Chain A
């Protein structure tokens, strides 16, 4: 259950950005979440709702953009999709590929007044 801690961090960043851009309230924001980060989207949304109460983020719509996992084999260079962190290169069977996508946890956009 790391979603609440993540949500608190998101709200803190949103409050900073709102202050920086002179916004009294945040109406909507977009998060990019990698599928390898073990984030449960419904749970994150609930936690964002809780963490945002009493702040400029309260009631804001959240849009989650998920990013599929991808790795690059450090032995043969093959790029391939991964759904979990336990994987072998499908071409040469080597372990320990470098994750190139799917670990994102990023705020990418917000809208407010």
Chain B
């Protein structure tokens, strides 16, 4: 019998592939955002709004367990997209993203958004080579979400609170969401928006422009 002592991070293979993706992004001079949320929070609608309003060349990697409805919406909005179907996996990993990159003209893009699989837990664990993680929480999901799913709030540089137009109709308190998110992550930038009315989106667009500029 042989006993071997090792110290190897379980996610090292993913981290290595993520670093390789990152190198490709930097070579092509494209900034990459990993956009995460629960299903139905409004990621694709936020992207449609963003594509329509932002003066940057945008590409989108669409991650879904199955289906291509989101990629079709992105194409209709006028951005380049590629669909990844994870066939059951609840998050994108660096390898899945790497396999999709060949279908996008990276040097012709300013900004690439990787729309992760709808899930508040697992996507936060797996780097895909992004420059920044951003997350979306829709107000009706409830103001207890930072306390219940803290990892995504800790990992994200930006938090977009969507569906603010529903504030009069739901009990969730956006101040509590923001307070708890900042307790978990004091650096997080918070944007309160309504993708339905367009309210508050300018600050989000400015954040993307700043990310592009740095």
> Among residues 144 to 201 in chain B, which have CB atoms less than 8 Å away from a CB atom of chain A?
146-147, 150-151, 153-154, 180, 182-187
Q: Which of B121, B150, B154 contacts A2 (CB 8 A)?
A: B121
Residue B64 at the A interface, CB < 8 A?
no
Interface residues on B, range: 35 or more
Contacts of B5 in A (CB 8 A): 108-109
Q: Mostly helix, strand, loop or mixed at chain B's interface?
A: mixed
Residue B7 at the A interface, CB < 8 A?
yes
By the criterion CB–CB under 8 Å, are B180 and A110 in contact? no
Give A79 Cβ to nearest chain B Cβ, in Å. Answer: 18
Residue A112 at the B interface, CB < 8 A?
yes
Contacts of B4 in A (CB 8 A): 17, 21, 23, 109-112
Interface 1/0 per residue, A29-71 and B, CB below 8 Å: 0010000011000000000000000000000000000000000
Contacts of A1 in B (CB 8 A): 90, 121-122
State how many residues of chain A have any CB contact under 8 Å with chain B.
Answer: 31
Residue B45 at the A interface, CB < 8 A?
no
Asked whether A2 and B91 contact (CB < 8 A) given A21-B2, A86-B180, A110-B4, the answer is yes
B interface, CB within 8 angstroms of A: 1-14, 89-91, 93, 121-122, 125-126, 146-147, 150-151, 153-154, 180, 182-187
A interface, CB within 8 angstroms of B: 1-2, 5-6, 9-10, 12-13, 17, 21, 23, 27, 31, 37-38, 84-88, 95-96, 105-113
